[in-house]
Structure 1
Amino acid sequence: MSIPSVTATAPKERKSLGLRRLTRKLAPLIVIVAILAIWEAVVRIFAIPSFMLPAPSEVFSVGWRTRSIILGAAGQTLLTTLLGFALAVAFGLVAGVIVGSSRVIYDSIYPTLIGFNSIPKVAIIPILVIWVGIGPVPAVITAFLISFFPILVNVATGIATVEPELKDVLRALGASQVQIIRKIGLPRSMPYFFASLKVAISLAFVGSITAESIASNQGIGYLMLVASSRFQVPLAFAGLFVTALMGVGMYAISSAFEKRLTGWTIRDSQSGIGANG
């Protein structure tokens, strides 16, 4: 009975692994194309009016004709979202380290944070208009408020869940609390941190667009509001598509940073090795 050699089976295994990886990468695109095709077919078959549900082909056509308007609005929305998101990352990271490094602070502040996060941010926008007026500032603040909490909670959780044994070892070696956080707490919280970024960036877009539709005369939110009031529903859907593309793009950037900086925590389900390996 002959036994296949390792050299003979290795190329087949590599080819199979490469095929599986290619399938995983193409799967999201295939799903999107399928959804758009079904959407197009439903609209055509049931003759749904465009002011109720436009077909994707009509949305793309209107989006291309009004691309200068949409790109201008998208640029404004992207700017306000990134500003709010950057503030949330900076303040959330610092606050998460402070909250997670002390059990007393964690237990004292966490209920307050839960209560604040339970407040619908759309209810705060009229108050922001009174304080700072109409414009991009309410959108920046809303994006900050809605994306701040996930970052803070995840960083604090990552630091607070460091094994007590590791802390005891470092203390026995003479390490201070700051050194423990820097050597163990921050590396331990990085997977939590980058996971929260992927959630926070999507929430930041929701916050900025909601604020733009209420308290601004610029951006995708304002464009969609005006288009809907004029029954230009394909234009409103084009704004939605552009927003989705921006959200997916920022999500992909966050995922790339996550794999690059915390690849040691991610294992390839097919090969059983680290993502960077």
Structure 2
Amino acid sequence: MENADKKPRLNVYQIEKRNAFLFLLPYILLFTVFIIVPILMAILLSLTQFDSVNFPKFVLFKNYIYLFTRDKVFMQQVLPNTIKFALIVGPGGYILSFFLAWCLAQIPHRPRTVLAIILYTPSMTMGIAMAVLWRVIFSGNEAGYLNNTLLNLGLINEPIQWLQSPQYILGIMIVVSLWGSLGVGFLGMLSGVLNINSELYEAAYIDGLKNRFQEIIYITIPMMKPQMLFGAVMAVVSTFSAGAIGVQLTGSNPTPQYAGQLIYNHIEDFGFIQYEMGYAAAVSVILLLLVMLVSRISYRLFGTRD
């Protein structure tokens, strides 16, 4: 009877497993509520016709069919603009972050800290900086810094409407995005370079390493793959989710003749201006798939098997 009344004791492994689960439980709940549930709701909403007033009506895949067959703005403007923007700003900002992080790692601590803060600051003040700085630089009148400089040099005869011209707006968006691309991915790369054991470089030069380029290829990059992966994922997410930049520069959504329209803007246009929530959800699902695809490619390039 005494043995039957005794409760089974948990072994050490079971206790550690339980404690680990309890430790992860808040994160699991938050991830489920704020990530998994919204994604599932967006997928479900993308299969409906919903104007935020009437009850949603299921239309199955009609939104996706319309998106790829009848939405000329998406296929001729939005998707090409997004791909161009992503191919330039994503890899460009990523390479720039790594290069500047490596350069800063070569200088003493105090100037490195100051320069790191200077380079990181634009990513924290993008909205304010675009409204105050870049709109003044690219202003379409003679007072604009760029127009004023070009007029004084005799390169143009009259002011150019930089922010209202379909010919220039996407290029300006790319320049501004590259300027503000040194965010947390840059800091991650800087910490990765600084944490590499200096003895590895010394041993490599003894074994026949000849120059800094070989140092980067054979030691720096392989030793900081986790930081490289983190920077790549951050670059992918920030690039594909960009959209406010075009609206803030031009002051309108959609941008002039859709020249600076990205997928993010297309979602805002249909979701919060035209109130076609079902269609906007379908576009957001396509954006999610694009981000997942490119993130997966980044993981294959910089992920480890550990």
Provide TM-score, normalisation by structure 1: 0.65
The match for 1:198 among 227, 233, 241 is: 233
Deviation of 1:95 after TM superposition, in Å, equals 0.8
The match for 1:160 among 170, 181, 194 is: 194
Q: Which residue is 2:105 aligned to? A: 100
- 8 Å Cα contact 2:50/2:278 also seen in 1: no
Greater shift, 165-174 or 243-252, is seen at 165-174
- 8 Å Cα contact 2:189/2:227 also seen in 1: yes
Give 1:229-268 correspondences, 5 Å limit: 229-259=273-303, 263=304, 266-267=305-306
Q: Which residue is 2:52 aligned to? A: 51
Q: Which residue is 1:80 aligned to? A: 85
Q: Which residue is 2:128 aligned to? A: 123
Percent identical pairs in the alignment equals 11
Deviation of 1:256 after TM superposition, in Å, equals 1.8
Deviation of 1:36 after TM superposition, in Å, equals 4.5
Q: State how far apart, in whole Å, the 1-side matches of 2:183 and 2:194 are.
A: 16
Q: Which residue is 2:62 aligned to? A: 61
Residue ranges of structure 2 left out of the alignment (5+ in a row): 1-35, 139-161, 164-168
- 8 Å Cα contact 1:148/1:200 also seen in 2: no
Q: Which amino acid aligns with 1:123?
A: I
Greater shift, 172-181 or 160-169, is seen at 172-181
Alignment RMSD: 3.8
Q: Which residue is 2:266 aligned to? A: 223
Residue 153 of structure 1 aligns to a residue whose secondary structure is helix
Residue ranges of structure 1 left out of the alignment (5+ in a row): 1-30, 268-277
Residue 148 of structure 1 aligns to a residue whose secondary structure is coil
Residue 241 of structure 2 aligns to a residue whose secondary structure is helix
The match for 2:117 among 99, 107, 111 is: 111
- The number of residue pairs the alignment matches comes to 226
Residue 224 of structure 2 aligns to a residue whose secondary structure is helix
Residue 245 of structure 2 aligns to a residue whose secondary structure is helix
Deviation of 1:198 after TM superposition, in Å, equals 1.0
- 8 Å Cα contact 2:63/2:282 also seen in 1: yes
Change (3 A) 1:99 1:196: same
Greater shift, 220-229 or 196-205, is seen at 220-229
Deviation of 1:139 after TM superposition, in Å, equals 3.0
Greater relative contact order (Cα < 8 A, sep 6+): 2
Provide TM-score, normalisation by structure 2: 0.59
Q: Does 1:189 align with 2:195?
A: no
- 8 Å Cα contact 1:138/1:211 also seen in 2: no
Change (3 A) 1:238 1:184: same
Deviation of 1:246 after TM superposition, in Å, equals 1.7
